[in-house]
Structure 1
C-alpha cells in the first residue's frame, strides 16, 4: 500500500493511463473505491480508496486518472459552490479543474493480482465476496 504524503498544494499524487471505474461507495462508513480491474493488460488491478468522504462529484469511469491535492482557491470555490466547509488538505481533484473531486481523508492505493470481484485490500465493502 502506498500512503499519500503531500509536498505542496496542487501537487500530483497519483497518475495512471489505465481505465478506472467508480466501484463502490459505502454510506455507513463513507468509503469510496475506484478500481482498475485486471481484465485487460497489465494483469493487475489497482484500487484507490477514499475514507471519510464528505462530498464527491464523480464520473462513472475515467480513461486515465490523475489525482492531485487542491489549492486554497479550489477549496474555497468548492465550499462556496456546494455549501460546505472544505478544510485545506481534504479536497482531491480527479482530472483537471473542479469537474470531478472528492472531499475526504487522503486517498490511498494498492495494486495486486486480485480478481475483479475479490474484496479490496482496504477491507470488505458491501457488494464484494
Structure 2
C-alpha cells in the first residue's frame, strides 16, 4: 500500500495512464474507492481509496489519472463555492484543475492481482464483498 507523503501544495502524488472507474462510495463511513481493472495488460488491479470524504466532484471514469494536492487558493475557492470548510491538505484534484476533486483524508492506493469482483484490499465496502 502506498500513502501520500509529499506535503507541498500542487504536488503530484499519484499518476497512472490506466482507466479508472468510480467503483464504490460508502455513505456510512464516507469512503470512496476508484478502481482500475486488470482487463488489459498489465494484469493487475489498482485501487485508490479516500477516507472521510467531505465533498467530491467526480466523473464516472478517468482515462488516465493524476492526483494532485491542491494549493491554499484552490481550497478556499472550493470552500466558498460549495459552502464547506476545506482545510489545507484535504483537497485532492483528480486532474489539473477544479473540475474533479475529493475533499478527504490523504488517498491511499494498492496494486494487486485481484479480479474486478474480488474484495477490496481496503476492507469490505458494500458491493465489493
User: What is aligned with 1:65?
Assistant: 65
What CA distance in whole angstroms lies between the structure 1 residues aligned with 2:95 and 2:3?
Answer: 20
What CA distance in whole angstroms lies between the structure 1 residues aligned with 2:61 and 2:123?
Answer: 22
What CA distance in whole angstroms lies between the structure 1 residues aligned with 2:128 and 2:40?
Answer: 20
Deviating above 3 A after TM superposition, structure 1's stretches of 4 or more consecutive aligned residues are none
5+ residue gaps, structure 2, are none
Listed as ranges, the matches of 1:73-84 within 5 Å are 73-84=73-84
User: What is aligned with 2:102?
Assistant: 102
What do you get for the CA RMSD once the two structures are aligned? 0.6
What CA distance in whole angstroms lies between the structure 2 residues aligned with 1:10 and 1:39?
Answer: 32
Could you say what secondary structure the match of 2:64 adopts? Answer: strand
If the length of structure 1 is used for normalisation, what is the TM-score?
Answer: 0.98
Q: Does 1:4 align with 2:37?
A: no
If the length of structure 2 is used for normalisation, what is the TM-score?
Answer: 0.98
Aligned length, in residue pairs: 129
Q: Does 1:120 align with 2:120?
A: yes
What CA distance in whole angstroms lies between the structure 1 residues aligned with 2:90 and 2:3?
Answer: 15
Could you say what secondary structure the match of 1:67 adopts? Answer: strand
Contact kept? 2:7, 2:89, Cα under 8 Å: no
What CA distance in whole angstroms lies between the structure 2 residues aligned with 1:92 and 1:7?
Answer: 12
Could you say what secondary structure the match of 2:66 adopts? Answer: strand
Could you say what secondary structure the match of 1:5 adopts? Answer: coil
User: What is aligned with 2:49?
Assistant: 49
